[in-house]
Amino acid sequence: MDAVTYPDGKVTRFINDNMIPLQVRFDVQPLSTDFNIKWTPTLITLDAQGKEHHRTVGFLAPEELIPSLLLGMGKSYLEMDQFDEALAKIEKLLSEYPKSHSVPEALYWRGVCRYKATDDTRPLKEAYEQLKAEHASSEWTKRAYPYRLL
């Protein structure tokens, strides 16, 4: 990713504006053990307390890295019950990167986030219906399958 993704201007700006990046070799101790890093590249989205919220392993092209990072940020906010912030990151991913491989997972988490913010089950069913219509073979559609009964 050093040769292709990280030098991309849009990627560089996004990371500099939104993250505190740290690049560590996969065999550097104790970090590689502490974060269970077995292969490079491994990208981990952590919160301010160092808790992991999202992980990818393997190369991501520039057009996939930013959506993956947005998803990680959204999941971080969701897991801290900051639903408005989570939805903002997820909606940005969905609107600016509609063809990204991160979209099915983002649709799933958007439904979960909306449900958790309102205790209304409709967003879960809507998430499943959208996933079924647009991403039928996605693992996220399968994970949302029980929501069809709501």
Report all structural domains of the chain as residue ranges with CATH numbers, in order of start.
9-149 (1.25.40.10)
Q: Are 85 and 50 in contact (CB under 8 A)?
A: no
Looking at residue 61, the DSSP 8-state letter turns out to be -
Q: Are 135 and 104 in contact (CB under 8 A)?
A: yes
* 123-124-125 Cα angle (round to 5): 90
Element (DSSP H or E) covering residue 52: strand 52-57
Q: According to the model, what pLDDT value does residue 43 have?
A: 93
- The pTM of the full predicted model, rounded to 2 decimals, is 0.93
Q: According to the model, what pLDDT value does residue 94 have?
A: 98
Q: According to the model, what pLDDT value does residue 25 have?
A: 84
Q: According to the model, what pLDDT value does residue 2 have?
A: 76
Mean pLDDT by 10 residues, the chain (150 residues): 85 94 88 91 92 94 96 97 98 98 98 98 98 98 97
